[in-house]
Amino acid sequence: MERDNSVESISVMPTKNYSIGGLFEVFYNPSKLFGNVNYNPKVLVPYFVYGILMFLFFYVTADYVVKMQMESPSFQQRFENGMPTNMTDLMKYNVIIFGTLLSLIIPIISTGFAIFFGNFIYGVKENFKKVFSVVIFSAFIIAVGKIIVLPMILAKGSVMISLSPAILVSHLGADSFLYVLFSKFDLFIIWEIIVAGIGFSIIYNLPRNKGYMLSVLSVGMISIIHILYAAFGKLL
């Protein structure tokens, strides 16, 4: 018999001001957190804290990202006659600014996918704020994962650090298909997808397995697109 983990099966005492506490609950009690989201969705605080952590990550690692870019064959060919003055500074600012902006845009895109597939596949509708609340609380797991690996990046002096099988093929480069593929099995990416699946099952009133599927099709869609881009990019 299929187990229905919908919101009716979860006893939650609604908490109106749970924004900060939810950033901790997402790790150890996501069912309670998303029960509160279903009652009163919060987005501002988790989105802000998520953005701050991602900015911190790119700010600290920008020099290593620029170094990796400069060592790539394509970069060497492009600037074989010499690099413009202050090029490295511009590259560093680009990494920090665009890396942070992209990190802030991705949860919005994932929310759009969740709303689309929730309606298209399961025929259920939910408002943007509630779905985005699930996505951004789940994305906070990724942000914390980035901060956790920072000491390892600083110790090695390279951004080619991953809590995934990608570490075994890091010598192939960050743009290689195998590295991109294996990097999506990162501990925190998997954790994020599972937690988002729990949230979707609650707010959409779906069985847990359907919540996981919706999570893969929305939160996991960015990873799928990245893998496909890496695969087809080698064929072009």
3-state helix, strand, coil in the chain (%, to 5): 75, 0, 25
Direct distance between the N- and C-terminal alpha carbons of the chain, in angstroms, rounded to an integer: 48
Q: Write the CB contacts of 102 (distance below 8 Å, at least 6 apart in sequence).
A: none
Residue 73: what pLDDT? 62
One-letter amino acid at 20 equals I
Write out pLDDT tens, residues 11-64: 556 676 788 999 999 999 999 999 999 999 999 999 999 999 999 999 999 999
Residue 171 CB neighbours (<10 A): 8
CA dist 198 and 5 (Å) reads: 8
DSSP at 163: S
Where does the pLDDT of residue 187 fall: very low under 50, low under 70, confident under 90, or very high at 90 and above? Answer: very high
Write out pLDDT tens, residues 74-110: 666 666 665 665 777 788 999 999 999 999 999 999 9
